[in-house]
Structure 1
Amino acid sequence: MEAVTPHAPVPPQRRAHAKRMRSEMTDAERKLWGCLRAHRLMGLSFRRQVPIAGFIVDFACPDHKLIVEVDGSQHGHDADLTYDAARTRRLEQDGWTVLRFWNDDVLRDIDNVCQHIVVVAGKGWS
């Protein structure tokens, strides 16, 4: 039997920040959450604004080690692109797959966004 490794403790300030972010979601995050919550997307279990590896990720599906980030235009600047790439590499080192979608993609083409998530999670699409 394999030993269960507990996750790293989350500092109270980061936990409070994640909680605040859950109540202040962007329009795109709200729209995607409407598709992901309560196992609505092919039975996948997602959580929102989850602290992982020192970061707060938009959406996480722990069963499939899948993270979904919804990025606004501020993520298009060089410094933010560099930070996001480093963040993605760090999360991938822990075995997570990170998907990034632009706000506009979520708001205008939610069906294809959801289809891509399902395919990457290995659940198929019908």
Structure 2
Amino acid sequence: MKNIKAHDLKYTARALRRNMTKEERHLWFDFLKKLSVTVNRQKQLEGYIVDFLIPEARIVIEIDGSQHYTEYGLEQDAKRDERMRRMGMTVLRYSNDEINNSFDGVCLDILKHLKDKGVDTVSVDIDCQSTENDPHRRFVSS
């Protein structure tokens, strides 16, 4: 979640959607895009850009790289998360490591939160496993 001046948000969000991280692409193409609810990528929200927003459930999903685990990063994330919670949002944070090594667990956790919010996602068959051969993915292995 990045705090950016209002006039730059639209263009920054667009650029971030075009240049998603490997982990953002994985979560988007292999899971979130397949949900039967609307999921917004790099959505502007109260002066910030959140990685993913599920408006119907009021859920924000953030994927955290290493910069989020510095003292400053943790402090800033806590402030932003509190602001989102005051807006009635549930903030789910997953590390790059969780996306890369526990993808099924991340998917199941998101589904649990959707179910807890009364949001039905059973109308779509979702396989939490990676689909690296999907031609729509811009996955670059490292």
Letter in 2 for 1:29: E
1:12 aligns with 2:19: no
For 1:44 and 1:83, the matched residues in 2 are separated by 29
In terms of fraction of residues, the more helix-rich structure is 1
With a CA cutoff of 8 Å and minimum separation of 6, indicate the structure with the bigger relative contact order. Answer: 2
How many residues get paired? 114
Q: TM-score, normalised by structure 2?
A: 0.75
Residue 36 (structure 1) aligned to one of 32, 36, 45: 32
Answer yes or no: is the 8 Å Cα contact 2:40–2:54 preserved in 1: yes
Name 1:114's counterpart in structure 2: 107
Q: Structure 1 regions of 5+ residues with no counterpart?
A: 1-9
Corresponding residue for residue 104 of structure 1:
97
Cα RMSD for the two superposed structures: 1.7
Q: Which residue in 2 is equivalent to 1:26?
A: 21
Of the candidates 85, 95, 102, which is equivalent to residue 78 of structure 2?
Answer: 85
The superposition leaves residues 31-77 of structure 1 with CA deviations (integer Å, 9 ceiling, x where unpaired) of: 0011111xx13x23211000001110000000000010000011100
Structure 2 unaligned regions, length at least 5: 123-142
Q: TM-score, normalising length from structure 1? A: 0.84
User: 2:18 and 2:53 mapped to 1: Cα distance?
Assistant: 17
Percent identity between matched residues is 35
